[in-house]
Amino acid sequence: MRRIAATTFAGIVLGAAIVPAAGSAAEVNGRRQDFADASVSAGVPNDVLLAVSYLESRWNTNHGAPSTGAGFGPMHLTDAAAVTRGGTHHDEGTEDARGEDAGPARPARVAGPAAAAAPAPALQTLDQAAALTGVDKARLRTDARENIRGGAALLAAYQRDLGAPGGAGSDPAAWYGAVARYSGADTADAAAQFADEVFATMREGADRVTDDGQRVTLPAHPGLRPQTAWLDRLADRLGLRRPARPDGLECPPDLPCEWIPAPYADLGGGDYGNHDLSDRPARQRVQYIVIHDTEATYDTTIGLVQDPAYVSWNYTIRSADGHVAQHVKTKDVAWHAGNWYVNATSVGIEHEGFAAEGAWYTEAMYRSSAKLVRYLAGRLGIPLDRGHIIGHDNVPGTVPSTVRGMHWDPGPFWDWGHYFDLLHAPFRATGTARTGLVTIDPDYDANRPAFTGCTGASGNPCPEHGASQLILHTAPDAAAPLLLDPGLHPDGGPSTMLLSDHGSRVSAGQTYAVAGRQGDWTAVWYLGQKGWFSNPPAAPTAKWATGLVAVPRPGRDTIPVYGRAYPEQAAYSPGVPYQPITPLQYTFAAGQRYAVTNVVQGEYYRAVTFDGSSPGDWTVIRGATWYAQIQFGHRVMYVNLDDVQILPSLPEATPTPGSDREHAGR
């Protein structure tokens, strides 16, 4: 994610972590009435309207900002023409998506996308809503009441078009076809998936306080069974595709998914694309799932991944309906993360977004993504925690020169807390204020950092919006400077509130070693410094945790930190060039401690030719060196186990000679 439409807002101090929602649930309760009124005026059952809105936005307004799927308001009325531009985050910066010192590089686009076509009707529902209601498009984007009226009018029109029974008092079960059409899906299974989720929401019920402080309740209807036969009429009327599910498609059976392969092609002159063949997990364990944001339309993204001269990723998920396309088998290595060690041990999932002008993600996409990740994690044995389910912004630079150019999607507006709830792995307290670790977990809607640089000049303020990241300060004071990040700011200047500058931020679900407490503030060890964040007991932004920490071995003043866990030189066979183990520009000093999130053996997957003809190609080189993966900053990093001791996180636990291997898993 790069930019979102800029507006001016006041009353937020630079770096302030938490501001209250706009009004309490008791003070502001008009949203429920808005749905009830729209139900009557459009002739749509209120519960159908509520459930559709929940699956789109969870009833939030998102302060008038567009979603990454170009949708606005509680009903996610889309206006792609107003927010879309071409390109993806892979086209910007200096990151080589392959992240390998040998073999073909992919530092930027080789073959760009075709000229942008007019948005599909599913991405321009705002126009349809405006025509049906007579309400100005600008108002439909920003006025929640009118947005709900517009969405209700669309549903009613879809129901009439199908010839299905309508009216506010009609049987909700008969609205299955209209709900499926509201998804904007072009495949029958994706339309059905959306409608099934809507009706599941009606069966289970829902109750929450929205981002502007309004409580909305959808009562549970456990016996509701939709009339799914309306989907057949919808599919025939709209010509919805019914994509094949070939043998070997790696998706859960209840998730709409199709196979759109990324090409493996010889481009001549030693160049090939756009991924590498392998045999994972038999050849190499898959340890990570990397979450990306495409910053382009789904159609543009699908076109790019089919270009052999471009880069690749394993899956793409569409925003409006959660439809999934698989491009690279999980056994093979896609070029997506900018770090070869991470690429060789990960699966990459792209989520549809638009030129960083979107500030939020649809519930439909979150749910599809969570289903896919749960499935992959179960098949591949990947733990459901933030040491293994990471954002592109958590992938470290490979060597000092690449740190600054690494990408930072999916950005601060990805709701990690909600995502892990959907993964059935919610962030929980596992310790106390005395157990030495803390897991970041702010209230997403109330946490609204004063980010800048969404559009135009870097100092322009971003719209007020919930976020999953907290800001760190050099002292327990909101006016104190931000921390230093020598990788992002080699000139020695402090970090900034620029949306892309995560050099002084922690993210929901990440676990850090506690470095101090003072009043309502908590400090953590971060990039060799103490970083303070507001964590008042009355409104905590983190949960106490327990686990393991890495500390320098006795007698070591400082130890190096690495961006990849490569083996030592002696492990390489003759004819295979050694990949140097190069420290990054950060300092891990005695007296500091960092949370350990994994322990891995040093390894390097050798793959530099199209046909595997180079000496040692398509083999994994493993050494005697082991590494601890630590939460060192916003990105994960690695330290040599011979340089550290692994200890319980309790502050009173101190290094003792001979104890460094007990907790290392070796």
Q: Each residue of 479-498: pLDDT tens digit?
A: 999 999 999 999 999 999 99
3-class SS string, 591-649: CCCEEEEEEEEEEEEECCCCCCCCCCCCEEEEEEEEEEEEECCCCEEEEEHHHEEEEEC
Q: Give the phi and the psi of residue 639 in degrees, each rounded to 5.
A: -130, 145
**What average pLDDT is seen over the chain?**
90
What integer pLDDT is reported at residue 457 of this predicted model?
62
Cis peptide before 554 (omega within 30 of 0): no
What is d(CA 506, CA 500) in angstroms, rounded to the nearest whole number?
Answer: 13
Lowest-confidence segment of 58-62, 105-109, 325-329 by average pLDDT: 105-109
Cβ contacts of 481 within 8 Å, gap of 6 or more: 473, 474, 494
Share of residues in the chain with pLDDT > 70 (%):
89
Q: How many CB atoms lie within 10 A of CB 635?
A: 24
Alpha-helical regions (H) of 163-270: 176-182, 188-204, 230-238
Q: Find which of 76-80, 298-302, 556-560 is predicted with most confidence, using mean pLDDT.
A: 556-560
What is d(CA 316, CA 260) in angstroms, rounded to the nearest whole number?
Answer: 10
What integer pLDDT is reported at residue 91 of this predicted model?
60
In 380-484, the DSSP E strands lie at 389-391, 437-440, 469-471
What is d(CA 133, CA 155) in angstroms, rounded to the nearest whole number?
Answer: 12
In this predicted structure, the answer to whether residue 354 has a pLDDT above a threshold of 60 is no
Cis peptide before 410 (omega within 30 of 0): yes
Helix (H) or strand (E) holding 380: helix 363-380
What is d(CA 190, CA 319) in angstroms, rounded to the nearest whole number?
Answer: 11
What integer pLDDT is reported at residue 382 of this predicted model?
98
What is d(CA 466, CA 455) in angstroms, rounded to the nearest whole number?
Answer: 18
In 388-490, the DSSP E strands lie at 389-391, 437-440, 469-471
- Fold for 30-84+119-238, please state it: Lysozyme (1.10.530)
Total residue count of the chain as it appears in this document: 666
Q: What residue segments make up the domains of the chain, in order of their start?
A: 30-84+119-238, 550-648
Q: How many CB atoms lie within 10 A of CB 354?
A: 29
In this predicted structure, the answer to whether residue 8 has a pLDDT above a threshold of 70 is no
In 432-520, the DSSP E strands lie at 437-440, 469-471, 505-507, 511-518
Tens of pLDDT along 174-196?
999 999 999 999 999 999 999 99
Angle at which helix 125-133 crosses helix 144-162, to 10 degrees, equals 90
Judging by DSSP bridges, how do beta strands 257-259 and 215-218 pair with one another? Answer: unpaired
In this predicted structure, the answer to whether residue 638 has a pLDDT above a threshold of 80 is yes
Q: How many CB atoms lie within 10 A of CB 197?
A: 22
What is d(CA 165, CA 143) in angstroms, rounded to the nearest whole number?
Answer: 29
Q: How many CB atoms lie within 10 A of CB 430?
A: 15
Q: Which residues pair with 390 in a beta bridge?
A: 290
What value does the mean pLDDT take over residues 546-571?
98
What integer pLDDT is reported at residue 88 of this predicted model?
62
Full-model pTM: 0.92
